Amino acid sequence: MVPVLLGASFVCFLLLRLTPVDPAKAYLSVSNIIPTEETLRVVREQLGLDRPFWSQYVHWLWQLCQLDFGVSFFTKLPVASELAARLPVTAMLAFSSLAIALIVSIPLGIAAALRKNRAMDHISRVLAFLGASVPQFWLAYLLIYFMAVKMDWFPLQGADTWIHYVLPSITLAFALIATYSRLLRRGLLECLEQPFVLYANARGLRSFTVIGRHVLRHAIRPVVTAAGMNLGKLFAGTVIVEQIFAMPGMGGFFLEAVFHRDYPVIQGYVLIMAFVFILGSLTADMIQAYLDPRLRQSMGKEG
């Protein structure tokens, strides 16, 4: 985990150095100060750009450990606090999307598996195709058009109450539902062939118990893995969705930073995303271990 994080941080650091535009000049232009020799020199010193490459990197890492992500070129406030202030909205959005996705895909996957090759199965297949093929930003506008503009059921923008989160969450959940329901279906079908399912039925357990208690915890594992790995895609989605629905979250802030060439913010956001992804994978692994005790054994052995 740590080496990946370090590697990602290096990539991040490199990002800024790849720019053809001198960061110092960018800073000045954003602040509306005319770049002269003098001002450039001051800024360079301020940003630590006059030091050798590796020294900059180490210094930067050290700052990161102290949770100092630098100062935004645009707002002049610490990046860390700016991002932290907007975190709740994004977290809420991501969480509710995931929740909706699971609530819909689990019954859908079960129905598709149990009624294999019948109506429900085909419906879920079509839904899955749509989910994988529809552009998220377009779906957002479709929902806006039909639900907000025509029906006036939902607000168009903002993030004040829970209603504001409905349309954005559905937008993000759609693609997830597509993947998860099919994964669950496949996992269930494989699982239902297992001998322990036969034995569970032979013991006279109710179907509900067999599926809910015995089969589900095995069949859901690919979904857990997928969820962990798709976390990154989910956050990429929040960037677009937050902009469309004008929600004051981290994603929207990142996008603004992109347009303003606010490099510290960009850097900070990318780094946080890498961290979130790794956290997501770890969590997924832990859930896997909980679901299957055999993994706990092998994980213990690896140390």
Stretch 91-130 residues interacting with other proteins (CB under 8 A): 125, 128-130
For other proteins, what does the binding mask look like between residues 224 and 263, x meaning CB under 8 A?
Answer: -xx--x--xx-xx--xx--xx---------xx-xxx-x-x
- Count the residues of the shown chain that bind other proteins, applying the rule CB under 8 A: 91
From the list 62, 95, 145, 153, which residue makes contact with other proteins (rule: CB under 8 A)? 145
| Binds other proteins (CB under 8 A): choice among 37, 151, 294, 300 | 294
Is residue 49 close enough to count as binding other proteins by CB under 8 A? no
Task: Scan for tokens 């149990």, then name that residue.
Answer: 114
Q: Check binding of 164 to other proteins (CB under 8 A).
A: no
Query: In the bound complex, what is the minimum distance in angstroms from residue 49's beta carbon to other proteins?
Result: 15
CB burial of 253-267 (b: ≥16 within 10 Å; e: otherwise) equals: bbbebeebbbbbbbb
Minimum CB–partner distance for residue 271 and other proteins (Å): 9
State which residue, 38 or 259, has the beta carbon closest to other proteins. Answer: 259
In the complex with other proteins, which residue's Cβ is closer, 68 or 285?
Answer: 285
Contacts with other proteins, 10-39, as mask; x by CB under 8 A: xxx--xx-xxxx------------------
Among 64, 214, 241, 253, binds other proteins (CB under 8 A): 214
Nearer to other proteins, 37 or 117 (CB): 117
